[in-house]
A = this chain, B = another copy of it.
Amino acid sequence: MRIHVINPNTTAAVTQKIAAAAQAVAAKGTEIVARQSKAGPESIEGFVDGAYSLPGLLSEVVAGEREGIDGHIIACFEDPGLDAARSLARAPVIGIGEAACLTASLIAGRFSIVTLSGISVPAIRHNIIRYGLGERCASVRAAEVPASALDDPKSDARERIATEIERAKAEDRAEAIVLGSAMLADLAGPLAKDHGLPVVEGISAAVKLVESLKALGLATSKAGGWAPPQPKGYLRGLGLAG
């Protein structure tokens, strides 16, 4: 099967990190097709970046559909455009925030999310409540680390992240950590070792959920809010409708 991992920002280095995280857990026989939006934000933090990421993201969804892709992953923790993508796709669509949090709920009574920037926190909180995980999510914490610092060996990014994880354990009684940004994908293993509790990363979690849905023969129901849009003129103009 082929899984379409869509980085809804335009930064190639992030797409590579995402592709590697997806590849690392893909089953034999799963091909990871990682792409990024052709236009839009270079990173997504908060509501404005999320809104502007949608056209680029949805174009990739439709492109993937036309290639007969077997499933889509929206590789941004804030899960932008998840409902719209599900409406446009016949194949399943999974957001990495949703994937990480549902997966964490299977292995921990209460988990905390550690994200990079405080501006993402309200969007993440909205999602948590919508996904019904309000009781299970002990806290959403921001390390206030700029994305650029993550790969800078001189930055204190790792220390800041470690501090929030330890606070989540001590103050919020978190039993597992969810990494709240696609850019943290490569840290799940090391952080789990350092802090002695499960660390869930969303890209890999989403790959397994898409593979699962495919194996189960399940795709998005078209009976409700995720029915295809009416073929209005603007969609034809974008080349997205008949």
Task: Give, as a whole number of angstroms, the nearest-CB distance from A93 to chain B.
Answer: 9
| Candidates B52, B130, B132; contact of A55 at CB < 8 Å | B52
Query: Given B84, B126, B198, which contacts A48 in the complex, CB threshold below 8 Å?
Result: B84
Q: Does A144 belong to the interface (CB within 8 Å)? A: no
Q: What separation, in Å, do the CA atoms of A189 and B143 have in the docked complex? A: 34
> A221 → chain B, closest Cβ, in Å?
4
- The answer to whether A107 touches B48, judged by C-beta atoms less than 8 angstroms apart, is no
- Within 42-71 of A, Cβ neighbours of B (below 8 Å) are at 42-43, 45-52, 54-55, 58
Instruction: Please tell me which stretch of A12-20, A158-166, A179-187, A209-217 contacts chain B, meaning at least 4 of its Cβ atoms lie within 8 angstroms of it.
Output: A209-217
- The proximity string for A residues 72-96 relative to B, scoring 1 for CB distances below 8 Å and 0 otherwise, is 0000000001011011100010100
A220 at the interface (CB under 8 A from B): yes
Minimum distance in angstroms from A224 CB to a CB of chain B: 4
Asked if B48 contacts A234 (CB within 8 A), the reply is: no
A136 in contact (CB, < 8 A): yes
CB of A110 within 8 A of CB of B46, answer no
Q: Which residue of B lies closest to A117 (CB)?
A: B230
- Known A-B contacts: A123-B225, A131-B132. Give 17 more (CB < 8 A): A10-B234, A39-B234, A52-B235, A92-B107, A103-B216, A108-B221, A109-B122, A119-B227, A119-B229, A121-B224, A122-B224, A175-B226, A176-B221, A189-B217, A200-B216, A208-B208, A212-B212
17 contacts between A and B (CB under 8 A): A39-B234, A41-B234, A48-B228, A51-B55, A51-B84, A52-B238, A106-B209, A108-B224, A109-B221, A119-B225, A131-B132, A174-B223, A175-B226, A200-B216, A208-B208, A208-B215, A211-B212
